[in-house]
C-alpha cells in the first residue's frame, strides 16, 4: 500500500495521476484539513504534523509514503528521512514532490529562467532554488509567495473572478520577467492549471506536478522491488481526513475526478 499525505485537498491532484498511471496499487490518502494550510506555519510545527502523518500512515499498512505537500516536503522531509525514519522505521521511506519537478526543469536545455510559486513556507525555505542551482548553477530562479491561493481553492473559488484577479496579480512580475518555465510548488495549484497557463502564455512551460510525480514514482517502484509493494487485481482506496468538513467529500470527488466511497475522520493527536 502506498500512502499519500497532504495538508488538505491539494494532494488529490497528485493521487489523481497515481490512480490513472499506476492504478493497480492500493492507496491510502490522508488530508490534514483540520490544520490546513501548512504554508503559514513554522517549520517546527510542520515537522511535528508531518511526523504524526507518517506514524498514522505506516500504522495503517503503508510501505511507502509520498508527501504530496510542498510545505511538508520543504520543511520536514529531509529531517524525517535522515533522523526520524532510521530510528523509528528503518528500511522504510518517505518521498516528496520537489526533486521530480526540479529534475524535469533541468532536463530541458532551453530553459535558463525559472519561476517558482508556492506557499510562504515553501518559498521562504528556498528549497527549489537550492535544488535547481545544485543541478544547473547558471539558472536564473525567481520565487514568489502566493499565500491566498490555497484558501481560495479549499473554498472552491476556482471559477470566481476574484481568484483570477489575484492570480494575475501574483503572476504579473514573473510574466513581465519572461520566465521560460513555472514550477507550481504547491499541490493545490494544479486545480488552477488552466488559468495559470492562460495567464503565463505559450512561451512559458507550466508543468503539471501530478504527471511529473507519477512518472517519477513509477520509475522509483521499478527500481525498488525490495519494498514489496505488489500489484493487486482489486486495488483499495482509503481516504482519511482530520476534520469533518462538509465540503471535503464534495470537493474531493470534484478534484479527484471520481467518486469517493467513504472518508474516515481521525484525530492525529490521538495517534501519538
Distances (CA, A) of 194 to 23, 158, 159, 167: 25, 11, 11, 12
From the list 68, 186, 200, 251, the catalytic residue is 186
**Helix/strand/coil (H/E/C) assignment for every residue in the chain:** CEEEEECCCCCHHHHHHHHHHCCCCCEEEEECCCCCCCCCCCHHHHHHHHHHHHHHHHHCCCCEEEECCHHHHHHCHHHHHHHHHHHHCCCCEEECCHHHHHHHHHCCCCCCEEEEEECHHHHHHCHHHHHHHHHCCCCEEEEEECCCHHHHHHCCCCCCHHHHHHHHHHHHHHHHCCCCEEEEECCCHHHHHHHHHHHHCCCCEECCHHHHHHHHHHHHHHHCHHHCCCCCCCCCEEEEECCCCHHHHHHHHHHHCCCCCCEEECCHHHHC
Question: Please, is 154 exposed, middle or buried when counting C-beta atoms within 10 Å of its C-beta (0-12, 13-18, 19+)?
Answer: buried
From the list 69, 132, 192, 199, the catalytic residue is 69
Identify whether 204 is a catalytic site residue.
no
Q: Which residues form the catalytic set?
A: 69, 186
Amino acid at each position: 500500500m502506498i500512502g499519500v499525505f497532504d495538508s488538505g485537498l491539494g494532494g488529490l491532484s497528485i493521487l489523481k495521476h497515481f490512480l490513472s498511471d499506476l492504478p493497480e496499487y492500493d492507496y491510502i490518502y490522508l488530508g490534514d484539513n483540520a490544520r490546513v494550510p501548512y504554508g503559514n506555519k513554522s517549520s517546527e510545527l510542520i515537522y511535528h504534523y508531518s511526523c504524526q502523518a507518517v506514524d498514522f500512515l505506516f500504522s495503517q499498512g503503508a510501505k511507502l509514503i509520498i508527501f504530496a505537500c510542498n510545505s511538508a516536503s520543504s520543511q520536514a522531509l529531509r529531517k524525517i528521512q535522515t533522523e526520524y525514519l532510521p530510528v523509528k522505521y528503518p528500511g522504510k521511506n518517505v518521498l516528496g514532490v520537489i526533486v521530480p519537478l526540479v529534475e524535469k526543469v533541468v532536463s530541458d536545455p532551453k530553459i535558463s529562467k525559472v519561476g517558482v510559486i508556492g506557499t510562504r513556507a515553501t518559498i521562504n525555505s528556498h528549497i527549489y532554488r537550492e535544488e535547481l542551482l545544485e543541478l544547473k548553477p547558471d539558472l536564473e530562479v525567481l520565487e514568489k509567495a502566493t499565500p491566498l491561493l490555497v484558501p481560495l481553492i479549499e473554498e472552491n473559488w476556482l471559477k470566481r473572478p476574484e481568484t483570477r484577479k489575484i492570480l494575475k496579480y501574483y503572476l504579473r512580475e514573473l510574466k513581465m520577467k519572461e520566465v521560460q518555465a513555472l514550477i507550481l510548488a504547491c499541490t493545490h495549484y494544479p486545480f488552477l492549471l488552466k488559468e495559470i497557463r492562460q495567464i503565463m502564455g505559450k512561451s512559458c512551460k507550466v508543468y503539471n506536478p501530478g504527471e511529473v510525480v507519477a512518472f517519477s514514482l513509477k520509475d522509483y517502484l521499478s527500481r525498488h522491488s525490495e519494498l514489496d509493494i505488489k500489484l493487486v487485481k482489486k486495488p483499495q482506496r482509503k481516504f482519511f481526513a482530520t476534520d469533518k468538513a462538509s465540503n471535503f467529500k464534495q470537493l474531493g470527488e470534484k478534484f479527484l475526478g471520481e467518486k469517493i466511497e467513504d472518508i474516515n475522520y481521525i484525530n492525529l493527536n490521538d495517534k501519538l
